[in-house]
Structure 1
Amino acid sequence: MIVCGDDALAHRLASELRSVYGERITLVVPPAREAAGAPVRGRAVGRATALFGRVSAAMARAASTGGDPAGGPAATGTTVVEAAGLDDAVLVEAGVERAAALALVHDDDEANIRAALAARRLSPQLRLVIRLYNRKLGQRLEELLDQAAVVTDPGQTGAGTAPEAVTTVLSDADTAAPALAATAIAGTSKVVQADGLMLRLVERAPTAGGEIGDQGLGVLALLSSTVGDPAGADGSDSSGAEGPQLLPDQASVRAATGRRALVLETVSHGTPTSAARRLGRRWAPLTSLLPARLRWSIAGVCAAVLALAVVSWLVTGAHPLHAGYLTLLDLFAMGEPAIEEGTSRQAMQLLSGLIGLMLLPVMVAAALEAFGTFRTASALRRPPRGLSGHVVLLGLGKVGTRVLVRLREMDIPVVCVENDPQARGVAVARRMRVPTVLGDVTQEGVLEAAKIHRAHALLALTSVDITNLEAALYARSIHPELRVALRLYDDGFATAVYRTLRAAHPQALTRSRSVSSLAAPAFAGAMMGRQVLGAFSVERKVLLLAAVEVAGHPQLVGRTVADASRPGSWRVLALDASAPGPRPADLGAALRAGPGEPRQRLVWDLDPAYVLRPADRVVLVATRRGLAELLGRPQARRAG
Structure 2
Amino acid sequence: MVVCGDDGLAHRLAAELRGVYGERVTLVVPPSERTARPPVVGRARAASAALFDRVVNAAAGSVGRGGTGHFAGAAGTSVQPPDGEGVLAAGELTEAVLAEAGVEQATALALVYDDDETNIRAALIARRLNPQLRLVLRLYNRRLGQHIEELLDQVTTLAGRDAGGADASTTVLSDADTAAPALAASAVAGTSKVVQTEGLLLRAVERPSAGDGQAAGSGLCTLALLSASGADPAADGAEGNGEQEPRLLPDDEEVRRSGGRPAMVLEQVSAAGAESAAPAHRVRGVPPLASLFSRRLRWSLAGIVGCVVALAVALWMVTGIHPLRAFYLTLLDMFAIDDPAIGESLGRQLLQLLSGLVGLLLLPVLLAAVLEALGTFRTASALRKPPRGLGGHVVLLGLGKIGTRVLTRLRELGVPVVCVESDPDARGLATARRLRVPVVLGDVTQEGVLESAVIHRAQALLAVTSADTTNLEAVLYARTVRPDLRVVLRLYDDDFATAVYRTLRAAYPQALTRSRSVTYLAAPSFAGAMLGRQVMGAIPVERRVLLIAAVDVDGHPQLEGRTVREAFRAGSWRVLALEGRTDTAPGHVLAKGDRVVVAATRRGLADLR
Report the Cα distance in structure 1 between the residues aligned to 2:36 and 2:467, rounded to whole angstroms: 19
Report the Cα distance in structure 2 between the residues aligned to 1:281 and 1:412, rounded to whole angstroms: 17
Report the Cα distance in structure 1 between the residues aligned to 2:174 and 2:7, rounded to whole angstroms: 14
Aligned to 1:23: 23
Aligned to 2:38: 52
Aligned to 2:607: 629
Aligned to 2:59: none
Tell me the CA shift for residue 324 of structure 1. 4.5
Report the Cα distance in structure 2 between the residues aligned to 1:58 and 1:295, rounded to whole angstroms: 64
1:127 and 2:128 are equivalent in the alignment: no
Contact 1:530/1:546, CA 8 A, preserved across alignment: yes
Aligned to 1:44: none
Contact 1:25/1:76, CA 8 A, preserved across alignment: no
- After the TM superposition, which residues 120-269 of structure 1 pair with which residues of structure 2 at under 5 Å, given as runs? 120-152=127-159, 154=160, 156-157=161-162, 162=165, 164-186=167-189, 190-195=193-198, 198-206=201-209, 212-214=215-217, 216-224=219-227, 227-228=229-230, 234-238=235-239, 242-266=244-268, 268-269=273-274
Cα deviation 1:533-561 (Å, max 9, x = unaligned): 01112232221110111122222222211
Aligned to 1:450: 453
Cα deviation 1:102-134 (Å, max 9, x = unaligned): 000000000000000110111000000000001
Contact 2:30/2:36, CA 8 A, preserved across alignment: no
Cα distance, 1:217–1:343 mapped onto 2, change above 3 Å:
closer
Supply the AA of the counterpart residue of 1:111: T
1:524 and 2:548 are equivalent in the alignment: no
Tell me, which stretches of 5 or more residues in structure 2 are unaligned?
56-66, 70-79
Report the Cα distance in structure 2 between the residues aligned to 1:233 and 1:310, rounded to whole angstroms: 64
Q: Which region of structure 1 is more displaced relative to structure 2, 302-311 or 175-184? A: 302-311
Contact 1:329/1:335, CA 8 A, preserved across alignment: yes
Aligned to 2:588: 610
Instruction: Give the TM-score of the pair, scaled to structure 1.
Output: 0.82
Report the Cα distance in structure 2 between the residues aligned to 1:270 and 1:58, rounded to whole angstroms: 45
Aligned to 1:97: 104
Tell me the CA shift for residue 625 of structure 1. 1.1
Aligned to 1:35: none
Report the Cα distance in structure 1 between the residues aligned to 2:277 and 2:165, rounded to whole angstroms: 45
Contact 2:398/2:463, CA 8 A, preserved across alignment: yes
Report the Cα distance in structure 1 between the residues aligned to 2:297 and 2:470, rounded to whole angstroms: 42
Contact 1:178/1:192, CA 8 A, preserved across alignment: no
Instruction: Give the TM-score of the pair, scaled to structure 2.
Output: 0.86
Tell me the CA shift for residue 86 of structure 1. 1.1
1:77 and 2:79 are equivalent in the alignment: no
Tell me the CA shift for residue 299 of structure 1. 3.1
1:305 and 2:305 are equivalent in the alignment: no
Aligned to 2:75: none
Report the Cα distance in structure 1 between the residues aligned to 2:262 and 2:325, rounded to whole angstroms: 77
Cα deviation 1:375-418 (Å, max 9, x = unaligned): 33322222232222221111111111111111111212222111
Report the Cα distance in structure 2 between the residues aligned to 1:10 and 1:163, rounded to whole angstroms: 22
Tell me the CA shift for residue 357 of structure 1. 2.1
Contact 1:22/1:76, CA 8 A, preserved across alignment: no
Cα distance, 1:222–1:319 mapped onto 2, change above 3 Å:
closer
Cα deviation 1:190-228 (Å, max 9, x = unaligned): 442334665333233346999953461111112245x25
Tell me the CA shift for residue 371 of structure 1. 2.5
Cα distance, 1:418–1:309 mapped onto 2, change above 3 Å:
same
Q: Which secondary structure does the structure 2 equivalent of 1:199 belong to?
A: strand
1:574 and 2:574 are equivalent in the alignment: no
Report the Cα distance in structure 2 between the residues aligned to 1:18 and 1:518, rounded to whole angstroms: 17
Aligned to 2:77: none
Supply the AA of the counterpart residue of 2:511: A
Q: Which region of structure 1 is more displaced relative to structure 2, 169-178 or 557-566? A: 557-566
Tell me the CA shift for residue 603 of structure 1. 2.1
Cα deviation 1:152-196 (Å, max 9, x = unaligned): 2x1x54xx9757310010000111111111101238884423346
Tell me the CA shift for residue 313 of structure 1. 5.1
Aligned to 1:118: 125
Q: Which region of structure 1 is more displaced relative to structure 2, 313-322 or 163-172? A: 313-322
Cα distance, 1:229–1:620 mapped onto 2, change above 3 Å:
closer
- After the TM superposition, which residues 586-601 of structure 1 pair with which residues of structure 2 at under 5 Å, given as runs? none
Cα distance, 1:51–1:290 mapped onto 2, change above 3 Å:
closer
Cα distance, 1:352–1:238 mapped onto 2, change above 3 Å:
same
Report the Cα distance in structure 1 between the residues aligned to 2:582 and 2:199, rounded to whole angstroms: 12
Tell me, which stretches of 5 or more residues in structure 1 are unaligned?
33-46, 68-72, 577-601, 632-640
Supply the AA of the counterpart residue of 1:235: D
Cα distance, 1:279–1:436 mapped onto 2, change above 3 Å:
farther
Identity of aligned residues (%): 65
- After the TM superposition, which residues 541-552 of structure 1 pair with which residues of structure 2 at under 5 Å, given as runs? 541-552=544-555
Contact 1:392/1:459, CA 8 A, preserved across alignment: yes
Aligned to 2:72: none
Cα distance, 1:304–1:224 mapped onto 2, change above 3 Å:
closer
Report the Cα distance in structure 2 between the residues aligned to 1:317 and 1:214, rounded to whole angstroms: 67
Report the Cα distance in structure 2 between the residues aligned to 1:210 and 1:150, rounded to whole angstroms: 50
- After the TM superposition, which residues 307-346 of structure 1 pair with which residues of structure 2 at under 5 Å, given as runs? 307-312=310-315, 323-339=326-342, 346=349
Report the Cα distance in structure 1 between the residues aligned to 2:473 and 2:93, rounded to whole angstroms: 38
Report the Cα distance in structure 1 between the residues aligned to 2:440 and 2:330, rounded to whole angstroms: 49
Tell me the CA shift for residue 303 of structure 1. 3.6
Q: Which region of structure 1 is more displaced relative to structure 2, 114-123 or 365-374? A: 365-374
Which of 551, 558, 562 lines up with 2:565 in the alignment? 562
Supply the AA of the counterpart residue of 2:464: L
1:106 and 2:113 are equivalent in the alignment: yes
Q: Which secondary structure does the structure 1 equivalent of 2:521 belong to?
A: helix
Report the Cα distance in structure 2 between the residues aligned to 1:300 and 1:189, rounded to whole angstroms: 45
Report the Cα distance in structure 1 between the residues aligned to 2:466 and 2:124, rounded to whole angstroms: 30
Cα distance, 1:189–1:360 mapped onto 2, change above 3 Å:
closer
Report the Cα distance in structure 2 between the residues aligned to 1:183 and 1:472, rounded to whole angstroms: 15
Supply the AA of the counterpart residue of 1:100: T
Contact 1:237/1:539, CA 8 A, preserved across alignment: no
Report the Cα distance in structure 1 between the residues aligned to 2:346 and 2:231, rounded to whole angstroms: 87
Aligned to 1:7: 7
